[in-house]
Amino acid sequence: MGKKKQKIILPPELPPEVPDEEVEVSDEDLDFVGQHSDYANFMSRIDTPSLTKHVSRVADANEGALELLYEKKLRKKLENKETEENTLEVDPIDALPLKTADGQLYYRRVVKESKEAADDGELIKDPALVKPTKAEKRLKTKKLRKEAKKQAKEEEVQQTPQEEVLDEVKKELTAEEANEKKKYKFAELGTTLLTDPESNIRLLKEMLEISKDGDSAIVILGLKSLLAVFKDIIPGYRIRLPTEKEQEMKVSKDVKKMRFYESTLLSAYKAYVQKLVALQQQTVYQQVATRCLCTLLAAVPHFNYRESLLAAVVKDISSQDDVIRKLCCTAVKSLFTNEGKHGGEVTVEAVRRIAELVKGHNCQLHPDSLEVFLSLSFDEDLGKPERSDMDKKAKYKKFKKRKGSDESNQKPENDRKKSRKEMMSKTREEVNADYKAVSSDQDPQEQRKMQSKTLSAVFQTFFRVLKHTVQPKSEGSAHGAFGSHPLLDPCLNGIGKFAHLIDLDFMADLMQCLRKLAGNGSKSEDSSENSSCQLTVSERLRCCIVAFKVMRNNLDALNVDLQEFFIQLYNLILEYQPGRDDGDLLAEAMKIMLCDERQHDMQRAAAFIKRLSTFALSFRPAESMAALVTVKHLLQKNAKCRNLLENDAGGGSVAGAIAKFQPQVLDPNLCGALASVLWELNLLMKHYHPSVSSIAATISTMNANTNQVFRVHTSPQQAYTELLKENESFATPSAIKRTNSKRKGSDTVPAQGSDLNSPGEIDETAIRSKLSEHFSLLRDIQENERLRSEMDRTTQSLNLYETYRKQKKKRKTRSD
């Protein structure tokens, strides 16, 4: 039985000892099997190879031959694999396999030819796509290491002869082919590096060597592939090279290996960064180098040589080239927003460098370079958690005390509980310690120090910009490429944002500066200074707004009245031009300065009411709406100002000391607006825009005597934006009409002179033709009427004549 089994199951490859035909299967046997088919099941489950092995050993027949055969088979398989690998290249970035949920590994495979083309683009896009999480990475690296260990020995042996061969071949190839080869080489080296960085770290140097090539395309490619490699293999900690003492000490093999790895990585990285910085000066490589630097800075801000990275990036932050500037700005922004990556040190460094840059360039930089500061974030509660911790500890102590007393009462209960508690606390402590070590949480005090350093640098910059704007410029100084005060806008924004963090000591200076800036335009008019230091209306408005924000954020205790800024706003309203200046800013200023302020001088409020309603008469509906909303606010808060709504011009006791309204006076406190009448509202009630006319109507119905409670739902800003939107839909048809007429005009009047003149003339001709049409029609009608009346008259006379003849006949007949 045993023998038969063996023969049936023998693998077909083995040379059969006995041909199958010789074995005779009797009918009885078949029957037996058929009857007990259930028992025959085991046959299918027999482990053939082990059986054969066992049997062959027992048989002790031609063992050597068998082994040879197996070996041959294995070799064949290996060869097959190699050929497969050659035809199918793995993309360097995609070298790490994807692991699906069911545990299968997928390699991204790209055919060699297409890879080159893809390489270029993917380097920029892919990292985010392919970048695995740390846990994944660890898993993969473990697996890869296992595989790689097997191959490593073979590869290292194989690589040296390969290079030799390559070198020989290279000489024969043309330059282009050599380039192609280099590209392949990059791909190869990158892939091997990524699969097992620890054992292949020496390849980095090779890559660096190749990227020193003269051909720019190759260099760029090399920089990019190196970037990808570095980004992946740089560890999450800062490498500290061992001191000499440490080097002398005896260390284990693993540590030695690690040290070698780290030092090689570091030196290669250093060379790479230096190369990038050097290449940044050349126009050909400028963009690529900057991009590499920025990506590195954003990805590994904790690593060594970040200072040089930072220096290179900050230097280009106000570059003329839009792309480079954007890159640098986003890199620095990412530094500020992801402070956890580097623990804040780099933030301080970056802010300092920017401050120095601003100082060095005398504030003539692109606005973007200060815009960066807006993404800084300061944690105000840094000191607090500590305190709360202390509180907790104290509480805990108290609690413990109480508990202790309780325990003393219940002492005899059992010791087991106590020991368990101890265990618990011990483990908790351990866990806490571990957590701290892992999260590498910083001392909050340290962090605070860092923050205050950052803040001081930021404000230093802001104040520098302000001071620079304030001081009048000499005639010769050119404005540079960025206008006269390029940094003022972001600077004001920043001050507005961080207003609550300003030290009170600076406050006085800051307000002084802002006051000067806000009053800049009018002063220069007075003293006829050169116009170069004049700010636009929007900038001055912004100054006012920022001043109010600063004040509001800092003083809840003391209510300070910013008289100067009210005067500025009062005059700025006159200078405002709808097209040129930012209406949003004006609305914001109205909101912050007039609506939000709790109390006003009566005189001042009246002056603003008067001026705003005058202003509303002459501007677009959106602006006038904002102004009217503000007027409503003011009238509701200041009951006395409702005297303005009465129909007789007050004066004397009502108006205070000033008897007559003087609209040309600059100071709202002195213009005596209380003595005037708000006649503007009457006109505004007939405004063409329905919402403006309606709000004017509601304001004019407010009564001076009754103290009604009004509610205002909208702020001037809201009103402004709403109407602006509405207006756009409102205005589009008319705009289309105008363009139509323009087209007509250009058809009828060929080769018109300037664009500015043409619309007027076109309108004239069009109007003339239309008018002439109209009047000719009228004339026709008149002519018609005249003719008709003439006809009537003639028919009448004819009728008359006929009747006359008839009568004559009658008479004749009578007489006859």
Contacts to other proteins by CB under 8 A:
504, 507-508, 511-512, 515, 551, 554-555, 557-564, 599, 601-603, 651-652, 656-660, 662, 667, 670, 672
Report the C-alpha gap between 231 and 126 in whole angstroms: 12
Q: Rounded to the nearest whole angstrom, what is the least distance from the CB of residue 599 to other proteins in the complex?
A: 6
Of 193 and 671, the one with the shorter C-beta distance to other proteins is 671
Provide the 10 A C-beta neighbour count for residue 373: 26
Distance, in Å, from the CA atom of 696 to the CA atom of 682, rounded to the nearest integer, reads 8
Beta bridge mates, 98: 106
Neighbour-count burial for 179-208, b at 16+ CB within 10 Å, e otherwise: beebbebbbbbbbbbbbbbebbbebbebbb
Maximum C-alpha span of the chain: 177
Amino acid at 275: K
Q: Residue 98, SS3? A: strand
Nearer to other proteins, 601 or 722 (CB): 601
Pick the closer one to other proteins by CB: 329 or 495: 495
CB closer to other proteins out of 220 and 634: 634
- CB closer to other proteins, 627 vs 671: 671
Nearest to other proteins of 561, 761 (CB atom): 561
Please report how close the Cβ of residue 656 comes to other proteins at its closest, in angstroms.
7
> What are residue 782's phi and psi, to 5 degrees?
-60, -45
**Which residue, 524 or 554, has its beta carbon nearer to other proteins?**
554
CB of 674 vs other proteins, minimal distance in Å? 11
Q: Which residue, chain included where needed, has tokens 């048989």?
A: 59
- The nearest distance, CB 560 to other proteins, in angstroms, is 5
In the bound state with other proteins, the residue whose beta carbon lies nearer, of 101 and 504, is: 504
**Residues belonging to the chain:** 816
Per-residue CA distances from 459 to 378, 464, 510 (Å): 13, 8, 10
Q: Give least dist CB 708 to other proteins, A.
A: 19
CA 328/CA 7 separation, integer angstroms: 77
Q: Using an 8 Å Cβ cutoff, are 531 and 473 in contact?
A: no
For the bound state, the minimum distance from the C-beta of residue 561 to other proteins, rounded and expressed in Å, comes to 4
CB of 662 to other proteins, least distance (A): 8
Q: C-beta of 279: minimal distance to other proteins in Å?
A: 52
Cβ proximity to other proteins: between 437 and 558 the closer is 558
For residue 53, what are its two tokens? Answer: 């092995």
If the CB atoms of residues 217 and 666 are measured against other proteins, the closer one turns out to be: 666
Q: Which is nearer to other proteins, 315 or 549 (CB)?
A: 549
Nearby residues of 659 by Cβ (< 8 Å), 6 or more positions away? 651, 652, 672, 675
- Residue among 507, 509, 508, 537 at smallest CA distance from 521: 537
Amino acid at 393: K
Q: Which is nearer to other proteins, 114 or 662 (CB)?
A: 662
List, as one string, the DSSP characters of 517-538: HHTHHHHHHHTT--GGGPPPHH
Residue among 252 and 653 whose Cβ is closer to other proteins: 653
Q: How far apart are CA 495 and CA 513, in angstroms?
A: 12
Instruction: For 691-705, give one letter per residue: b (16+ CB within 10 A) or e.
Output: bbeebbeebeebeee
Spell out the residues 6+ positions from residue 406 whose beta carbon is closer than 8 angstroms to its own.
Answer: none
Looking at 211-301, list the stretches that DSSP marks H as alpha helix, in order from N- to C-terminal side: 216-233, 244-248, 253-279, 286-299
Question: To the nearest whole angstrom, how small is the minimum distance from the Cβ of residue 563 to other proteins?
Answer: 5
Residue 238: CB partners within 8 Å, gap ≥ 6? 302, 303, 304
The distance of closest approach from Cβ of residue 512 to other proteins in the complex, given in angstroms and rounded to an integer, is 8
Q: Which is nearer to other proteins, 331 or 514 (CB)?
A: 514
In the complex, least distance from residue 379 CB atom to other proteins, rounded to whole angstroms: 25
Could you identify the residue written with the tokens 């009951």?
Answer: 639
CA distance 32 to 35: 5
The C-alpha atoms of residue 620 and residue 123 are separated, in whole angstroms, by: 52
For other proteins, give the closer residue by CB, 28 or 526: 526
Q: Is the Cβ of residue 130 or residue 507 nearer to other proteins in the bound state?
A: 507
Picking from 296, 326, 324, the residue whose alpha carbon sits closest to that of residue 309 is: 296
- Nearest-approach distance from CB 548 to other proteins, in angstroms: 11
Residue 628 Cβ vs other proteins, minimum distance, rounded to whole Å: 24
Q: Which is nearer to other proteins, 247 or 563 (by Cβ)?
A: 563
Instruction: Provide CB contacts within 8 A for 447, sequence distance 6+.
Output: 343, 344, 379, 382
**What is the end-to-end Cα distance of the chain in Å, rounded?**
171
Give the shortest CB-651-to-other proteins separation in angstroms: 7
Residue 302 CA to residue 228 CA, distance in Å, equals: 17
Is residue 539 within 8 Å of residue 493, measured between CB atoms? no
Q: Are 661 and 672 in contact (CB under 8 A)?
A: yes
Q: Which pair of structure tokens corresponds to residue 74?
A: 């294995």
Using CA atoms of 168, 172, 178, 181 in order, give the dihedral in degrees to the nearest 10: -50
Nearer to other proteins, 254 or 526 (CB): 526
Please answer whether residues 679 and 646 qualify as being in contact, where contact means their C-beta atoms are separated by less than 8 angstroms: no
Question: Nearest distance from residue 637's CB to other proteins, in Å?
Answer: 12
In the complex, the smallest distance separating the C-beta of residue 559 from other proteins, rounded to whole angstroms, is 4
DSSP label of 648: S
Distance CA 95, CA 103 (A): 17
Provide the minimum distance between the beta carbon of 557 and other proteins in the complex, in angstroms, as a whole number. Answer: 7
Nearest approach, Cβ of residue 667 and other proteins (Å): 8
